[in-house]
């Protein structure tokens, strides 16, 4: 008889994007090529010199050897310097760990800080991989509802009311996935004060930091030394368009570094060395290139908002990489709507149910690939979908 796998993993939800992509197998192509708005992959190529530097580093036999577990020292220092410029503080590079993507960074931090039976506050709607990670580790997730009428911002007073001694951490994702909401610096400071009073960790996921609309630093928690109770997460994948190379970062106090190191050594040992070596140059030299990609994404958000105006499909949240769309079919599950869009008109989205409770009225769309032509095509396909629904219900 086959032994049973880990019941915590068995009970964890299926990966949302993999499930959604299976729906496209039933699309007949009648309205043109599929329009994949499901995953937050950059549609633009990386900078050409960055690609050349990755290739050159990969051709060096030395990069085929194991590298430092915490990451290449040159990249750790370059990233520390970048953060010091951004926040105005003075940070120890020993607090920087380079990971194989930000999902891995999150998993490492969760395992380093929390144990089975602990609880976390997770604003809802949430990023599904965060919820999956906690479920696999046996960590209890307490949803912190974020509402469209409040701009999808979490309420610190609601958080305080939900935060008993079992809550060991609060997670904030800003700009948010899936809603695009940017949390004000004052709100993040209030959550930090709450965590300090209750003896909990504050995990701030800055994956989409490079696509913020506000010019100032994302928060004001690190104007001196990096706080001991705050962990910052970042993805090079989005800002530098290299998701296939898998590169992320953890910023924490140097006192926490030994615990992070233990987990990193078991999970990955080290991130890929060629991309680390090339990215050292990228962090130092590609600010202007990155800002131009940000402006491209901003333009896409304007195109989408304009295209959907008056369509019945309402943009409830938008920012950074995402639009959180309210569909016009109350009482119908978001999964059914998302599957119908994929199979009938070839538009791939992620249903709101993947992002937490009470989200069945919404779909998540990824913004960066929306050109003017695609925005018009999306409006046309949504209209075609609406027409099909009227026929089916007649």
Supply the pTM of this predicted model. Answer: 0.95
- Averaged over 38-63, what is the pLDDT? 95
On whether both 103 and 233 belong to a single domain, the answer is yes
On whether both 174 and 37 belong to a single domain, the answer is no
Q: Which domain holds residue 107?
A: 48-286
On whether both 297 and 264 belong to a single domain, the answer is no
Report the b/e string of 162-174 with b at 16+ CB within 10 A. ebeeebbbbbbbb
- Averaged over 136-155, what is the pLDDT? 97
278-322 tens-digit pLDDT: 999 999 999 999 999 999 999 999 999 999 999 999 999 999 899
pLDDT band at 170 (very low <50, low <70, confident <90, very high): very high
Provide, rounded to the nearest whole percent, the portion of the chain with pLDDT above 90. 89
On whether both 268 and 297 belong to a single domain, the answer is no
- Give pLDDT, residue 65: 96
On whether both 71 and 150 belong to a single domain, the answer is yes
- Averaged over 334-359, what is the pLDDT? 96
On whether both 165 and 272 belong to a single domain, the answer is yes
**Residue 1 domain-assigned?**
no
What is the rounded distance in angstroms from the CA atom of residue 90 to the CA atom of residue 350? 40
pLDDT of 39 > 90? The answer is no
């Amino acid at each position: 008889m086959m032994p049973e796998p880990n019941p915590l993993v068995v009970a964890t939800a299926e990966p949302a994007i993999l499930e959604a992509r299976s729906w496209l197998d039933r699309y007949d192509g009648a309205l043109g090529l599929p329009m994949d708005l499901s995953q937050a992959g950059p549609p633009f190529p990386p900078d050409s010199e960055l690609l050349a530097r990755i290739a050159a580093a990969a051709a060096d036999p030395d990069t085929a050897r194991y590298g430092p577990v915490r990451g290449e020292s040159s990249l750790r220092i370059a990233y520390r310097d970048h953060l010091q410029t951004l926040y105005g503080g003075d940070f120890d590079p020993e607090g920087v760990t380079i990971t194989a993507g930000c999902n891995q960074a999150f998993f490492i931090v969760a395992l380093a800080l929390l144990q089975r039976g602990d609880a976390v506050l997770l604003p809802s709607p949430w990023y599904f991989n965060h919820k999956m990670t906690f479920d696999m580790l046996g960590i209890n997730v307490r949803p912190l509802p974020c509402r469209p009428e409040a701009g999808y911002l979490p309420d610190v007073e609601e958080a305080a009311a939900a935060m008993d001694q079992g809550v060991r951490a609060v997670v904030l994702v800003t700009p948010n996935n899936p809603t695009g909401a940017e949390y004000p610096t004052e709100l993040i400071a209030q959550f930090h004060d709450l965590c300090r009073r209750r003896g909990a960790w504050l995990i701030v996921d800055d994956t989409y930091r490079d696509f913020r609309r506000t010019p100032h630093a994302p928060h004001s928690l690190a104007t001196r030394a990096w706080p001991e109770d705050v962990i910052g997460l970042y993805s090079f994948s989005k800002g530098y368009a290299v998701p296939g190379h898998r590169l992320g970062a953890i910023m924490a106090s140097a006192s926490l570094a030994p615990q992070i190191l233990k987990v990193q050594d078991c999970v990955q040992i080290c991130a890929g060395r060629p991309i680390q070596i090339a990215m050292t140059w990228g962090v130092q030299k590609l600010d202007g290139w990155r800002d131009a990609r940000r402006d491209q994404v901003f333009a896409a958000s304007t195109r989408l908002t304009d295209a959907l105006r008056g369509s019945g499909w309402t943009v409830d949240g938008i920012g950074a990489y995402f639009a959180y769309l309210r569909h016009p079919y109350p009482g119908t599950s978001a999964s059914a709507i998302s599957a119908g869009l994929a199979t009938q008109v070839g538009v791939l989205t992620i249903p709101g149910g993947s992002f937490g409770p009470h989200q069945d009225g919404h779909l998540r769309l990824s913004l960066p690939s929306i050109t003017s032509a695609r925005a018009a095509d999306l409006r046309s396909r949504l209209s075609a979908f609406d027409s099909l629904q009227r026929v089916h219900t007649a």
